[in-house]
Structure 1
Amino acid sequence: MRLDTISAEAYIDNFSMITIVVNKPFSIIPSLVLIDRKGAKQPLTIDIQEDYHEKYIYKCKTSQPLDLYTEYWVACEEIRIPLKVGSVVRTERFDTLFYDDGVLGAIYSPDSTTFKVWSPVANEIRLKYKTEELNSFSECKMIRSEKGVWHLTLEGNHHLTEYTYLAKVNHEWVETTDPYTRSVTINGERSVVINLSETDPEGWNRSEKRINLRAKTDSILYEVHIRDFTVHADSGVKNKGKYLGLTEKSTKTSNGYPTGLDYLKSLGVTHVQLMPVADFGSVDETKSDKEYNWGYDPVHFFAPEGSYSTDPYDPVSRVKELKVLIQTLQTNGLSVILDVVFNHVYIREDSAFEKLVPGYYFRYDDGGNPVNGTGVGNDTASERKMVRKFIIDALTYWLNEYKVDGFRFDLMGIHDIETMNIASKKLKSLNPGVFLLGEGWDLNTYLEPERKASLSSAKRMPDYSFFNDAFRDHVKGSIFPEGASGFINGNQDDRVKNQMIHVLRGYAGNQNLFLAPEQSINYTECHDNHTLFDLLAIRHPHENETTRRKRQQLALAFTLFARGVPFIHAGQEFFRTKHGAENSYNLPDRINAIDWNFCEKNDHSVVYFRDLIKIKKEQPIFRNGSAELQEKNVPRGALGFELQRVFTDKEGGVLYWKKVLLFFNQTLKPIGVPLEHQEWNIAVEDQRCGKKATSSDCYLIPPLSFSLLYKE
């Protein structure tokens, strides 16, 4: 066989093993030689031959260890095959040799800026930066350290200097932004050196630490998308869909109904969970008023998204305006949780990770293919030392620089337990009350099950709360319309009832997966899948809307009064609809925008929501550990619970409750429950709040509703 008819590639798989992949088998094994850029040669010995998916693989041993800083070619008679980086970057030895715990990125001072970037496999890296005097780009060769960190210092004040890295990797020059960049130009095309003190809003104390000591079970989380919340035509907001839009005070609809920030702070929720604000690639920032995305497509993990800025061309604007938003929310008594997406990147091949250290930051199967537990074609490998460092560096940066109060981890089950526990230890050392939560779904990634940060590992991750899908599915039913129905749908199966008892006590179904109820995030709606209003319309197409709304309000009561942490999707309190859309991640504003006119029309439901929150916050009996939920014997179709506590009479003028009864009716008829000849006060009945007394020995729970009775 002629060698020039063979298509061949060669990869470094460990420090003394090279894999050659060809499209046709060698009929006669050629003499294979490894040549470096200085012309030095060493013979290669074929150790293993394999066939894999119509490819022919020859694993060859080297006589001397390979230097990843050196360029090599495999010589096969007259053919030279460029030797590329392979699975060597995923070996423990690579992690040990090249782990560096130093500061990376552009380290700014008024007198100089030092650039540091990690790439042990690059043969050369040049800093490409813009010079204002000439309005053109210059290049400087960077210096490599033993651990693979390349560095260079530019003298002078380089605030707002644009830059990229030119790296020679795998015999090719690639250009990339800095994975640690703190801000970027439009659409993240270039990194930008930034003097962060220039991005601080008025009253921002850089030396002051943000400390939160509120218990998780005293928290109520409210999920908000920056654009959704203010972009509606009648929101009364000037900076619609922007960071600053959510900072505007006294905004109203044309009828005078409060919107935006004023509405948000009136609800009584404690935490605003912002959907992703780190720079993402799925919206063209030059068309940010016309394009839409949730933002789960991360590109730059340290830099804010520009489409929410009033000037995405200004690298300072996006940073400063996000800080103003966070500062405003906190000033108005609201803690801020960021939704962070470390489990994947927007496009793997285009990411700075893949350009600088190909194959390192992501998980691969035995055939060398990226695994897809995330559903987007690339799962990050949090268990590798420099990936772990990157995640923790990014988290501590957002905590320190932006003073946020917590993080929600998208698809947290992709990550490994060790990384998450190291991260929580670090974050809690900076803010003991930092709120950490995540999606603990068990996803099909290339990581041993016992190492996954999944729901089943909750007891090994005591600082994290987990979205409780058992709560969601047993309250409202499956997220899929054709799936099983839940309690609020009228499902009277004994298994559903038993599961409801467990989840109301703060468990993950009938499994005691949690150390305490504070690990349970109780929710029936989030940005994913149908809104509950839309799902109920699909499940109950022949019911009138009033009946379906009662089902939704019953779900709301479960969410607020179950043991654990309530989580509310913005607009859920007034029956938010996305007009039947199941997955609205890239749909237009007419689907996603908070409809303030619809909110105004349903103000009575908003008032009910506020009143329930007020009751929950004022009465210690609902706080974790104050009282145990004891099941009461009630007729079929209802659930009943009693709470008792040791109490003080009152505090701050609020009379504390001694005993509480919670009743839930899933049927279309009233259900009578015995009250043991005791006088009770009714605080909540049939979607209304307000004290009234009853002395009857039998209480009628109205159809499809929640009732709360108490004794002082």
Structure 2
Amino acid sequence: MSIDSISLAAYIDDFSMITIVANKPFSIIPSLTLIDDKGTVQPLTIDKQEHYHEQMIYKCKTSKPFDLKKEYWIVYNEQRIPLMVGSIVRTEKFDTLFYDDSVLGANFTPEFTTFKVWSPVAYEIRLKYKPAHSNSYSERKMDRTENGLWQITLEGNHHLTEYTYLARVNHEWVETTDPYSRSVTINGEKSVVIHLPETDPADWNRSERKINLRSKTNSMIYEVHVRDFTIHSDSGIKNKGKYLGLTELQTTTSKGYPTGLNYLKRLGISHVQLMPVADFGSVDERKADKEYNWGYDPVHFLAPEGSYATNPHDPVCRIKELKMLIQSLQNNGFSVILDVVFNHVYKLEESSFEKLVPGYYFRYDDGGKPVNGTGVGNDTASERKMMRKFILDALTYWMNEYKVEGFRFDLMGIHDVETMNLAAEKLKSLNPGVFLLGEGWDLNTYLEPEKKASLSSAKKMPDYSFFNDSFRDHVKGSIFVEGHSGFINGNQEDRIKHQMVHVMRGYAGNHDKFLNADQSINYTECHDNHTLYDLLAIRHPHESESMRRKRQQLALAFTIFARGVPFIHAGQEFFRTKHGAENSYNLPDKINAINWNRCESHHHAVSYFRQLIKIRKEQAIFSDNRSELVEWRIPDGGVGFKLQRPFTDKMEERSNWNKALLLFNQTLQPINIPLEQESWSVMVENERCSEKLVSSNCYTLHPLSFSLLYRL
């Protein structure tokens, strides 16, 4: 057999084990040895061999443990095969030996900057850098510690110095940005040293902490995409599609209707959730006005996205303008939640994680292939110590430096419970009222089910709220066009009607999984899938638009008055349409932009939305977990609920509602509802808010409508 016909690859899979992969069987005679960069030779013993996917796999034992500060080769008949880093990085011993709790990244002082990067498998790392006043790059060799941390200190003021790391890993040199980059050049091509006080807006108090004092059930979250909310041609906003667009005050349409921040201020919501603002890879920042993406494809997790900055070439600009946006929202009474995407990276092979420590930061199957529970090609391994450290470091950084008050975790079910609980503990020490929520889907990743931060682990994660998909599906039906319909579509199945009791309790079929209603994020629309308006148009193609809008307003009432946390997708309140597009993550502005003219034309619906929010905020019966909720039986075609709240003092009793009736009619006919002997007042009726007394013991509920009655 010709030596040339054998293709070999070799990997370090444990501290004394090598895996050799061959395209065909081969004989270890006359020789198969291991040699290091000092010329030391070790014999290899084949411990096991197996056939796998048309390849031969040989497991070989070494006589001495590997020293990861060295380079190694396999020698077979004078052929030298580079020994590559394999699954050794995913062993518990590797995590234990090389964990390092240092402050990583470029740590600036006016006198010097210290650079620290972690890579126990690198043979050498060099810092490549260019000071702001220089036209050329220099290189300096970094020093290694026993924990695999590499560091170097540069004297002088290095604010705005551009840098990358040159790392010799797996027998070749790779160049990468810093995973801990606080800012970057355009398109994230270089990391940049930043003196962070230089990025502060006027009146930005670096020692101040933003402490959220609202309880979760007294909160209402409104989801906003920076570009969507400011880009419309008649928004009256100067900085369209930019961070600064959401800082502009008194903006209006050409007819004088409020837009942007001016509009948000009038709604009565408590939290603005910003869709991803960390640097993402799918928009060319040089063509920011012509390209679009939601931003769920992260590259640099600590650096702001440049396409939303007025000057993406300026590393200070993107930080300062994002801070100005956050500051403006907070100055106008909002708490700010960031949508964070730690579950995957944009492109695994181009990630600084993978370049510096191949195979460590991601999950792999038994065959050494990246697993894909996220559906985008890779899953990060939050359970590994240095990935866990990175997540906690990043969250702490965003809270301390940008003063945000909450985090929404994209595909949180990819992460592990321990990491999420450690994050909550750390963040609550900084802000006891931090708002933490996430998507609790059970995703097919390589992690034991009981360790996944999914909905089934809600009781083990008391500080987190979860998007309640059961609530969504029982109210509006399946997100899939061919799926089952929900209550607002006229579904009168006993199963649906029975579950509506749990919907109003904030459980929606998951009452055995939540500790309390605080953990339920009640929603019927978010950035994913069709808008509710578009889905109703598909489900009811022969119905008038006015009837479909009434169905949508039924869903709105459920969302606002159910126990738990109401969540609203921007524009939902005025029947936002994406013209039938189901997944608009990369579609143009004509699909995604908030249409302020449409908002203006549906100003009555917006006013109704504002009034419902006002009622929920002012009447503690809707947010007090002590309130008792029972089903109020009404004739077929509707559901009703009575809320009753205990009072602790007479003054509170005189100023707040004692009881409330929430009545929903999903039919096209009026329903007559007996009220027994109690006297009630009407607050909401047929999408109008005005108080009146019920004059008889029977109340007529309009077709496709919601009514709210109360007693003091």
Structure 2: 5+ residue runs without aligned partners?
Answer: none
Shift of 1:626: 3.8
Q: Which amino acid aligns with 1:101?
A: D
Contact 2:132 2:162 (C-alpha < 8 Å) held by counterparts? no
Q: Which amino acid aligns with 1:451?
A: K
- Alignment correspondent of 1:530: 530
Shift of 1:401: 0.4
Contact 2:126 2:166 (C-alpha < 8 Å) held by counterparts? yes
Q: Once superposed, which parts of structure 1, at least 4 consecutive aligned residues long, lie more than 4 Å away?
A: 27-30, 648-651
Shift of 1:678: 2.6
- Alignment correspondent of 1:2: 2
Mapped to 1, the partners of 2:565 and 2:152 lie a distance apart of 48
Shift of 1:265: 1.3
Mapped to 1, the partners of 2:140 and 2:75 lie a distance apart of 33
Mapped to 2, the partners of 1:221 and 1:117 lie a distance apart of 37
Contact 2:681 2:711 (C-alpha < 8 Å) held by counterparts? yes
Shift of 1:654: 8.8
- Alignment correspondent of 2:574: 574
1:92 corresponds to 2:92: yes
1:354 corresponds to 2:351: no
Contact 2:164 2:190 (C-alpha < 8 Å) held by counterparts? yes
Contact 1:251 1:260 (C-alpha < 8 Å) held by counterparts? yes
1:234 corresponds to 2:234: yes
Is the alpha carbon distance of 1:33 and 1:264 closer, same or farther for their aligned partners in structure 2, counting shifts above 3 Å? same
Q: Which amino acid aligns with 1:280?
A: F
- Alignment correspondent of 1:416: 416
For 2:594, what is the secondary structure of its paired residue? coil
Q: Which amino acid aligns with 1:152?
A: I
* Residue deviations 1:333-377 (CA, integer Å, cap 9, x gap): 000000000000000000000000000000000000000000011
- Alignment correspondent of 1:51: 51
- Alignment correspondent of 2:585: 585
* Residue deviations 1:355-404 (CA, integer Å, cap 9, x gap): 00000000000000000000011000000000000000000000000000
Deviates more, 1:638-647 or 1:541-550: 638-647
- Alignment correspondent of 2:693: 693
- Alignment correspondent of 1:191: 191
Q: Which amino acid aligns with 2:581?
A: A
Mapped to 2, the partners of 1:387 and 1:639 lie a distance apart of 48
Is the alpha carbon distance of 1:134 and 1:208 closer, same or farther for their aligned partners in structure 2, counting shifts above 3 Å? closer
Mapped to 2, the partners of 1:674 and 1:30 lie a distance apart of 95
Contact 1:499 1:510 (C-alpha < 8 Å) held by counterparts? no
Mapped to 2, the partners of 1:30 and 1:557 lie a distance apart of 79
Mapped to 2, the partners of 1:622 and 1:598 lie a distance apart of 31
* Residue deviations 1:472-512 (CA, integer Å, cap 9, x gap): 00000000010000000000000011111112112141542
Contact 1:634 1:640 (C-alpha < 8 Å) held by counterparts? yes
For 1:35, what is the secondary structure of its paired residue? strand
Mapped to 1, the partners of 2:503 and 2:68 lie a distance apart of 53
Mapped to 2, the partners of 1:209 and 1:544 lie a distance apart of 51
- Alignment correspondent of 2:307: 307
* Residue deviations 1:673-703 (CA, integer Å, cap 9, x gap): 1111332111000011011111211101111
- Alignment correspondent of 2:176: 176
Contact 1:508 1:514 (C-alpha < 8 Å) held by counterparts? no
- Alignment correspondent of 2:403: 403
1:322 corresponds to 2:322: yes
Mapped to 1, the partners of 2:310 and 2:292 lie a distance apart of 16
Is the alpha carbon distance of 1:29 and 1:452 closer, same or farther for their aligned partners in structure 2, counting shifts above 3 Å? farther
Shift of 1:201: 0.6
Mapped to 1, the partners of 2:109 and 2:508 lie a distance apart of 50
Map of 1:631-670 to 2, 5 A cutoff?
631-647=631-647, 648=649, 655-670=655-670
Shift of 1:624: 2.9
Contact 1:100 1:386 (C-alpha < 8 Å) held by counterparts? yes
Contact 1:517 1:624 (C-alpha < 8 Å) held by counterparts? no
Shift of 1:118: 0.2
Structure 1: 5+ residue runs without aligned partners?
Answer: none
Shift of 1:134: 4.0
- Alignment correspondent of 2:124: 124
Mapped to 1, the partners of 2:228 and 2:650 lie a distance apart of 44
Shift of 1:132: 4.2
Mapped to 2, the partners of 1:678 and 1:502 lie a distance apart of 25
Map of 1:549-568 to 2, 5 A cutoff?
549-568=549-568
1:371 corresponds to 2:371: yes
* Residue deviations 1:255-298 (CA, integer Å, cap 9, x gap): 00000001011100000000000000000000000000000000
- Alignment correspondent of 2:542: 542
For 2:681, what is the secondary structure of its paired residue? strand
* Residue deviations 1:392-443 (CA, integer Å, cap 9, x gap): 0000000000000000000000000000001100000110000000000000
Is the alpha carbon distance of 1:684 and 1:45 closer, same or farther for their aligned partners in structure 2, counting shifts above 3 Å? same
Mapped to 1, the partners of 2:508 and 2:68 lie a distance apart of 48
Shift of 1:133: 4.6
Contact 1:116 1:152 (C-alpha < 8 Å) held by counterparts? yes
Contact 2:474 2:508 (C-alpha < 8 Å) held by counterparts? no
For 2:180, what is the secondary structure of its paired residue? coil
1:388 corresponds to 2:388: yes
Mapped to 2, the partners of 1:508 and 1:41 lie a distance apart of 65
Is the alpha carbon distance of 1:30 and 1:453 closer, same or farther for their aligned partners in structure 2, counting shifts above 3 Å? farther
- Alignment correspondent of 1:624: 624
- Alignment correspondent of 2:36: 36
Mapped to 2, the partners of 1:103 and 1:132 lie a distance apart of 24
Contact 1:131 1:138 (C-alpha < 8 Å) held by counterparts? no
Q: Which amino acid aligns with 2:408?
A: R
* Residue deviations 1:540-584 (CA, integer Å, cap 9, x gap): 001000000000000000000001000000000000000000000
Q: Which amino acid aligns with 2:668?
A: L
For 2:214, what is the secondary structure of its paired residue? coil
For 1:136, what is the secondary structure of its paired residue? coil
For 1:629, what is the secondary structure of its paired residue? strand
- Alignment correspondent of 1:332: 332
Mapped to 2, the partners of 1:111 and 1:305 lie a distance apart of 29
For 1:257, what is the secondary structure of its paired residue? coil
Is the alpha carbon distance of 1:508 and 1:699 closer, same or farther for their aligned partners in structure 2, counting shifts above 3 Å? closer
Is the alpha carbon distance of 1:64 and 1:438 closer, same or farther for their aligned partners in structure 2, counting shifts above 3 Å? same
- Alignment correspondent of 2:165: 165
CA RMSD of aligned residues (A): 1.1
The number of equivalent residue pairs is 711
For 1:31, what is the secondary structure of its paired residue? coil
Shift of 1:29: 4.2
Shift of 1:131: 3.5
* Residue deviations 1:75-112 (CA, integer Å, cap 9, x gap): 00121000000000000000000000110000000000
